[in-house]
Structure formats: structure tokens, C-alpha cells
Structure 1
Amino acid sequence: MEEHEGLRLMQAQMARQCGDALLSMENNAAAARAAADSARAAGRLVLYGIGGSHYVNRSVEPLYRELGLDCRALGASEALMSPLPDLPRTAIIVSQSGESGEILELLARPAGQERRFGITLEGGSTLARLAEAVLVGAGGTEHAFAATRSIIVTLALHAAILEALGMPQEAFRAVLAADSPADTAAVDAALAGCDVVAFAGRHVLQGIAESGALSMMELARVPTIGWEGGQFRHGPFEFLRPGLGILLLRSAGVDGPGVAPLASACVEAGCTTVVFDSSGEAALPGCLTVALPRNAGLAAGLSMLLSFQPLNIAVARRRVADRIGTPVRTSKVTV
């Protein structure tokens, strides 16, 4: 099959993403320390984002809380309609382009007692100019549809702040250095008979699940949804049926024990059930397992994101081969 230009652009971005992410962590140590010092002093942290950036923020939100911060990830559009009370806090505003409409509107509003820091891929953007300090991803803006490299680099910039707060990121760096996504050809084949796909994960893996679902929906035009694992168990189980693809995320962290009962129920209902598994535990009965290196937290989430990329491209090749990587109704390349 002749490769579409949109796909070629995506593959070029993916080829450099891990190297750019490692470089981003090295190049932004000073800004990461400034954001970390501010957050530690305030004790309150809000992560603003929109689109894919919000799901990255959702991934790291529980890790900032583990470090003792009162942290929440808030969609920028929600913040505009229902602003937080004017209290002393640190804000990390995330926009890969630095020019998203909601982000610009947020920046135009008085900061009050909020100290604003930025994460972006564009050092000349409005966000970069207006933030107190900004972490800028290596390699600049992503010139491909359905954020791939930009998601990985943005996650790395959060990792730099987490490290400055005292959470080591050696395992995260090791996943980047290995740059070895899992073989997901069997998953693509298994999903060929599914008309809807649901991703579910807990803790860090909630945001990872939501990010994976968004990417598959954008690239392959498949109806998908990303769930927090606990929320998935309560209510949505009524829609389990044959023809439904379920992608469960399991790490070696606190989320791991809750995956087995979810998987059992999905298998019993006749769903095509796949586990992206960084737990190091035995495979779950009836599930197709994508075995990943044993990790927890951000490192586990990163290995899953890297493996979702070839999977989502493969699904898109099956469904929209003539226009893969080419937006139909989306005006922006990335947010």
C-alpha cells in the first residue's frame, strides 16, 4: 500500500519522539525547579489543559498528590466557565502549540494569587511569553495530525517537574531510552470484529486510557471511550457484549489488583478483552495480553502510550487507509 503523506508525517514525528523527550528533560531543569519550588511553597497545584494536553495532565495528577500537593487537573474550558477561587496556588498551563483558544483566554484573565508556569512545544508562543517560567519541549511544534510525539514530550516535561519535587524518573528514562513499543499486530486482528472500543485504567493509567481512546478515535474514526477503572465498573458494565473491544491497563502499582475482576466480567460477557500489562504478574484468563516491562506509575503509562501508537495506526490503516493522518473536521494539528 502506498503510504499516505499524513502517515509519513506521523511516522517521522514518532521516530524522534523518545530522543526529543529525553532532551526535553535535560534542557528544562531550571524551569522545572522553578515550577516545583512554587508548587511546594503554595501547597496547591492546578494543571490546566485542553484536548490531549488535559489527558496528559490527568495522568500525572495523582503523582503530584502523592508528593503532598493539593493537585487537580482542570480542563481549560471548564476553568473559564467556573473559575477556581482566588487562592494562593501554582498553575501549570499545558498547550503543545501554546496558542489554543481556551488557553489564550485563560491567560488573558488576571492571575490573582495564582503563579503561572507553562509547558509547550513552541518557545515563541503566547503561553511561553506570558508564563512566569516555561518548559519547552525539544524539537518544536509537531507537524502531524493526532498528537503522538507531542504527547510523549509533554509527559516528559511533567516528569522533569516531578523529579524536581523529589520523585525519581530513572524508570521513565529507561523506557524512553529503550524506545521499543510492543508488537500489537494480534491486538489489531482481534479488534477487527469490534465496532466500539473502551479503554480503562486507574491512577496514572486513567489519563493514559483516555489518551489512547482519543488517539484511536481521531486516527481510525472508531467510537471509543476512556474510563477510570472504578467508574467503568459502576454502570457501564450494562453495555458489555460481543463485538465490544475492551483494553484494560495494568501496572505493578496500586492500580494492578483491580484489573482481574474487570477482565473476568468482560470475558464472561463475550467482549474481546485485551490487557496491556506492566504488572509482571501472570496473564489473566481469557484475555489477549500485551506483555510490557514490569513498571508502575509514569514509566508504565509511557510504555503503554508508545505501544498504542502503532496499534492505532494499524486500526486506521484498516478503516481509513486513503486518508490516514489527514483531519476531516479538525482545524488544528495539535493542541
Structure 2
Amino acid sequence: MTAVLPGGLLRREIEEQPAVWARLVGEGAAGLQAAADLLRDVDPELVVLAARGTSDHAATYAQYLIHSRLGVPAMLATPSAFTAYRAQLRYPRTLMVAVSQSGESPDLIETVRSAKAAGVTVLAITNTPGSTVARLGDLHLDLGCGPELSVAATKTYTASLLALHVVVGLAAGDAWETLRARVGAAVEAAEDLLHDDVPEPGLLDAALTADRMVVVGRGLSMSSAREGALKLMETNRVAASGWSAADATHGPLGQVGPGTLVLLLTAGEATRASVVDFGRRAADLGGVVVTVGPAARLAPSFEVPLPDGVDETLLPLLEILPFQLLAHAAALGRGLDPDNPPGLAKVTRTT
């Protein structure tokens, strides 16, 4: 068996993502349609999104998407309420969407069991068809990513985003032709982005010398802010946090000083102004500003442009890619193995 160099698994899984997306809307079309049909049939008064860690960031994306596309209230579940406090909830007509790469986190399992005991219909979205969460679901949607061996999740995260996008889109009345065209544009853009020189040497140097990193987005890009910070933190052993621009000027701005790496998610037109405003304040405090998306023209700064022609609701699939690449390159630059961060495991069994 050929030995894999440190970081080799993570890099390979990052590069697999465009093919995973294309396969999901191709071979996985029947499953996506069945999930959308379930959402329409339940006609929920409430959608509860149950997830942990990286999958919780995908759930945050879905929350904004469900609000804007379906006009249905959506909330994130609180698994500790069921494991630590033994809560028993009464629900209106509800669909629970349980998102998990492994489908084996004990507190997520308990959250799903509690919902089912209360009569809630459950859509399970996992990358593991035989998992406990998959079996508990009234319907299971398989992400079909294949094995993900690096501890840091990449392809399962973006596949979750895409699955949620398509299911909500179909439930909202989008035609398959429209969705496939959107996804096709995202696949082509991702392939272009992954072939570019990201991160550029200057940005990599700034990441290697920073001991604090702040990622700021808003709206649909909140998922990318939190997930991007998590990728940097878990692979590089640095303090990183992801924030909404609406909150970041209250407390998080206080952690910005000379050399702090401040990464701005500027791709979303509706939310760009407030994100750039935070970047301006951070630059005044000596932060090194990085824009992922349209440049904010702040100094000192680096620019990571994203390809054009991608629907705004799919931009979170693209804007996370530079964070994955930066996390990988910076970890290797620090002499770390991003495939196996110390103290972390692929499946986190929170109870």
C-alpha cells in the first residue's frame, strides 16, 4: 500500500468536491427528489435542523435558505436539551432534518429519537447509509461522497450544502433543468478555483505568522464564516472564530490587533456592505484583511477573487474552498499534519 504524505488525504478530498457535486445531482437525483417530496408532503409549520459541528454549519445555511425560499420558520435543534436536561418537546406540524456525516453522534441520535417519539417526521441526510441516524429517519438521503478519511471534513460539508440547496429548491418549485444549470456553473467555477494558486505566497506567510484569525460573513455566508474558522482552527492549532458582521463589531473586534488575520466573505451582494465595514475597522486596528470575493480595497490586504456566474445562493459552496486550501497549506507550513490534528477524531461522540 502506498504511503500517504502528511496532508495528502485532505488535499485529495478537497479536489474531489466538484466531482462529488456533479454525482450528487446525477446519480443522486432520485434521492433528492424523494426528500423534496417529503418536505412538500409534510407541509411543515416548522423545520427543525438537527446537527453538530461542521454539519451544524450546513444547517445554518439551510435555515437562511428555508426562510428566504419557503417562508417557513426554521430553527436549529439544541441536542443538549435532550441529553443533559431530558427535555420533551411538543411540536406543531414539523419536519426535522438531521444532518450528519457519520450518523453516529449520541446526542444527535437522542435528539432524533425524542422528535420521533413526539410524532415528528424526520429526514436524515448522512454520508453513511447504515448509520443509526440514517435508520431512524423516515427517509434517508445519502450524500454519496465515498469515504472521507481526513479528520477535517471537506467534501461531506459541501455535499450537505448542495443537498440542502437542491431539496429546498425543488420544494420551492424550481425545475430540475434550472437546478442542474446552477450546479453545473458551480462545478465549473470550483474546478477553476482549485486550479488557481490559492493561497498566494504573501497570504500564506500572513497565515503562518498569525496566532489569531477572525472570519466575518453574514446571511447565507454565516455557514462559511463558521466553517472556515473551524477548518483553520482544527488544522493549524490557532485561535480562530467565525462571526456575523452584525455581531462582530460588538465584541469580536476587540480581539483584532496588529497581525490578526481578518478574512471577509464579500461575495454576497445583499450583505457585502456590513462585512466590508467591519474590515475597515479591523484594518484601522492593524488587522491583515483578506477578502474572499469582491475586493474591499483595504490595506494591508490580500484578495481571493471567486469566479463569476454562480447563483448567489450557491456561493457558500465556492467561498469555503479557499479556506480549505489555506488551512491545508498553512498546516503543512507549520509542520503539522492536517489529516490527523492532535486530539481530534473523525467522529465526535458528544453525549
What is the TM-score normalised by the length of structure 1? 0.89
Distance in 2, matches of 1:58 and 1:110, equals 19
Q: Residue 72 of structure 1 aligns with which residue? A: 75
Distance in 2, matches of 1:190 and 1:62, equals 32
Is 1:228 matched with 2:244? yes
Q: Residue 280 of structure 2 aligns with which residue? A: 264
Aligned letter for 2:110?
Answer: E
Q: Residue 116 of structure 1 aligns with which residue? A: 122
Q: CA RMSD in A?
A: 2.3
Q: Residue 147 of structure 2 aligns with which residue? A: 141
Q: Quick check: 176-185 or 138-147, which moved more?
A: 176-185
Contact kept, 8 Å, 2:10 with 2:338, in 1: the verdict is: no
SS at match of 2:8: helix
Contact kept, 8 Å, 1:152 with 1:302, in 2: the verdict is: yes
Q: Residue 163 of structure 1 aligns with which residue? A: 169
> How far has the Cα of 1:93 moved from its partner?
0.3
Aligned letter for 1:116?
Answer: V
Alignment length (residue pairs): 329
Deviation per CA, 1:231-257: give whole Å up to 9, x if none: 112222222211211101012431112
> How far has the Cα of 1:84 moved from its partner?
4.6
Contact kept, 8 Å, 2:152 with 2:338, in 1: the verdict is: no
Match of 1:107 among 105, 109, 112: 112
SS at match of 2:77: strand
> How far has the Cα of 1:61 moved from its partner?
1.4
Do the aligned partners of residues 43 and 141 (structure 1) sit closer, same or farther apart at CA in structure 2, a change above 3 Å counting?
Answer: farther
Contact kept, 8 Å, 2:11 with 2:328, in 1: the verdict is: no
Distance in 1, matches of 2:271 and 2:183, equals 18
Q: Residue 186 of structure 2 aligns with which residue? A: 175
Aligned letter for 1:228?
Answer: S
Q: Residue 19 of structure 1 aligns with which residue? A: 19
Do the aligned partners of residues 292 and 110 (structure 1) sit closer, same or farther apart at CA in structure 2, a change above 3 Å counting?
Answer: closer
> How far has the Cα of 1:78 moved from its partner?
4.8
Distance in 2, matches of 1:11 and 1:333, equals 20
Distance in 1, matches of 2:26 and 2:285, equals 47
> How far has the Cα of 1:4 moved from its partner?
5.8
Contact kept, 8 Å, 1:242 with 1:270, in 2: the verdict is: yes
1:1-335 matches, within 5 Å, as: 5-40=5-40, 41-67=43-69, 68-78=71-81, 80=83, 81=85, 84-109=89-114, 111=116, 112-166=118-172, 169=179, 170-178=181-189, 179=191, 180-181=193-194, 182=196, 183-185=198-200, 186-277=202-293, 279=294, 283-286=296-299, 287-294=301-308, 295=310, 297-321=312-336, 323-332=337-346
Distance in 2, matches of 1:327 and 1:58, equals 25
Deviation per CA, 1:6-59: give whole Å up to 9, x if none: 512222322322212221123333443343344341132111101110011112
Contact kept, 8 Å, 2:82 with 2:110, in 1: the verdict is: no
Distance in 2, matches of 1:37 and 1:91, equals 14
Q: Quick check: 114-123 or 128-137, which moved more?
A: 128-137
Distance in 2, matches of 1:78 and 1:25, equals 35
Distance in 1, matches of 2:259 and 2:236, equals 17
Distance in 2, matches of 1:140 and 1:131, equals 20
> How far has the Cα of 1:75 moved from its partner?
4.6
Do the aligned partners of residues 95 and 72 (structure 1) sit closer, same or farther apart at CA in structure 2, a change above 3 Å counting?
Answer: same
Aligned letter for 1:303?
Answer: L
Do the aligned partners of residues 235 and 144 (structure 1) sit closer, same or farther apart at CA in structure 2, a change above 3 Å counting?
Answer: closer
Distance in 1, matches of 2:129 and 2:244, equals 33
Gapped runs of 5+ residues in structure 2? none
Do the aligned partners of residues 94 and 297 (structure 1) sit closer, same or farther apart at CA in structure 2, a change above 3 Å counting?
Answer: same
Contact kept, 8 Å, 1:47 with 1:73, in 2: the verdict is: yes
Do the aligned partners of residues 297 and 326 (structure 1) sit closer, same or farther apart at CA in structure 2, a change above 3 Å counting?
Answer: same
SS at match of 1:153: helix
Q: Quick check: 207-216 or 153-162, which moved more?
A: 153-162
> How far has the Cα of 1:230 moved from its partner?
0.6
Distance in 2, matches of 1:31 and 1:91, equals 17
Do the aligned partners of residues 27 and 132 (structure 1) sit closer, same or farther apart at CA in structure 2, a change above 3 Å counting?
Answer: farther
